[in-house]
Amino acid sequence: MAEAIMKKLYGTRCYIQSVGVKNDLEIDGFSIAVCAEIGVELARHRSRSFDEMEDWGDDLSSFDLVLALSPASQRRALDLTQFYHLDVEYWPILDPTGLGEDREARLASYRQARDQIKSRLIDRWGPGSEDTAG
């Protein structure tokens, strides 16, 4: 969600790539649904791991900043960046996976995570060129 929301807000003003501790490839359907509500398309997005990032041609040293959204991703990013001059910021964002007893409760959890991400992005870099609803 973070990569897609950031691309929607800031477009080509910066180079953004989403990376996780592990690769799930398929994006969660709840993430797709709540991002669609604010005009952010996720259906074609695929997740990748830190290891795959380099395999696909992105050198970690070419980035300026890593935003870690979970304790596990923060630890992995700090391990990988110890020899590079780039910052790692930890943003504790709700992990909505597995939360909620029914569809509406799950969607509410995903909306909360989406809104936390969007709010943190706007707090850090401003409203962007194309603010989204929500």
User: What's the whole-number mean pLDDT along residues 77-86?
Assistant: 83
Q: How far is CA 64 from CA 17, 88, 105, in A?
A: 12, 9, 37
Q: Give residue 33's pLDDT.
A: 95
Tell me the DSSP string of 65-127.
Answer: EEEE-SHHHHHHHHHHHTTSS-EEEE------TT--SSHHHHHHHHHHHHHHHHHHHHHHH-S
Nearest of 59, 77, 56, 57 to residue 67 by alpha carbon: 77
Q: What is the pLDDT of residue 129?
A: 74
pLDDT given for residue 128 in this prediction: 83
pTM > 0.85: no
* Closest listed residue to residue 94, CA positions, set 105, 107, 110, 108: 110
Domains of the chain: 2-125 (3.40.50.2300)
- Cα(65)–Cα(87) distance, integer angstroms: 5
Dump pLDDT digits (tens) for 89-128: 999 998 898 888 899 999 999 999 999 999 999 999 999 8
Q: Render pLDDT for 19-60 as a digit per residue (tens, 0 to 9).
A: 766 655 567 889 999 999 999 998 887 777 777 777 766 777
Q: How far is Cα 105 from Cα 24, in angstroms, rounded to an integer?
A: 23
Per the structure block, which two tokens stand in for 105? 């409760």
Q: What's the confidence (pLDDT) of residue 130? A: 60
80 vs 34 pLDDT, higher one? 34
